[in-house]
Amino acid sequence: MVYPPQEKSQLVVPDSQVLVDKIVRLQRQIAKKQEKLDFVEEHMSTMTDELKKKNRIIQGYVMNQESGTLSTENMDENKVIEERLLWRFFVTLIDMKLEWWSWS
């Protein structure tokens, strides 16, 4: 913005109370966002732990099957399914993280 010559020396300086209020408001916003971030991180950690537990259960079940019950082809198919599920899980986590950031 271009000021006329007489106004250049008369720039308005914000009141210190206005600046303090703005700082307080920004600090509150930061605190809210940090709370959301902490929640999402904790939730993701919990979901990851649950997925690991379920994965161990599935692996234990597969390992306890009689030898030859699952053919090599079935094992390959199960591995592909497991990888797809894990991929979808992590994509969902990423989408949640992106969605969370868009709220901010």
Asked if 58 contacts 78 with a C-beta cutoff of 8 angstroms, the reply is no
* Per-residue pLDDT, 23: 95
- Please report whether residue 47 resides in a domain: yes
* Per-residue pLDDT, 24: 96
- Please report whether residue 13 resides in a domain: no
* Per-residue pLDDT, 89: 79
Residue by residue, DSSP assigns 12-55 as: PPPPHHHHHHHHHHHHHHHHHHHHHHHHHHHHHHHHHHHHHHHH
- Please report whether residue 14 resides in a domain: no
Low-confidence ranges of the chain (pLDDT < 70): 1-11, 65-75, 97-104
Phi and psi of 74, rounded to 5°? -65, -40
pLDDT in tens, 30-59: 999 999 999 999 999 888 888 888 888 888
In degrees, to the nearest 5, what angle opens at C-alpha 36 toward C-alphas 32 and 39?
Answer: 140
* Number of domain units in the chain: 1
Compute the distance between CA of residue 71 and CA of residue 79 in angstroms, rounded to an integer: 12
- Please report whether residue 62 resides in a domain: yes
- Please report whether residue 12 resides in a domain: no
- Please report whether residue 49 resides in a domain: yes
- Domain holding 103, by residue range, is 41-104
Q: What percent of the chain has pLDDT over 90?
A: 23
Q: How many CA atoms lie within 13 A of 35 on its CB side?
A: 6
* Per-residue pLDDT, 29: 96
* Per-residue pLDDT, 84: 80
- Please report whether residue 74 resides in a domain: yes
Give me the chain's average pLDDT, please: 78
* Per-residue pLDDT, 66: 57
Asked if 29 contacts 103 with a C-beta cutoff of 8 angstroms, the reply is no
- Please report whether residue 91 resides in a domain: yes
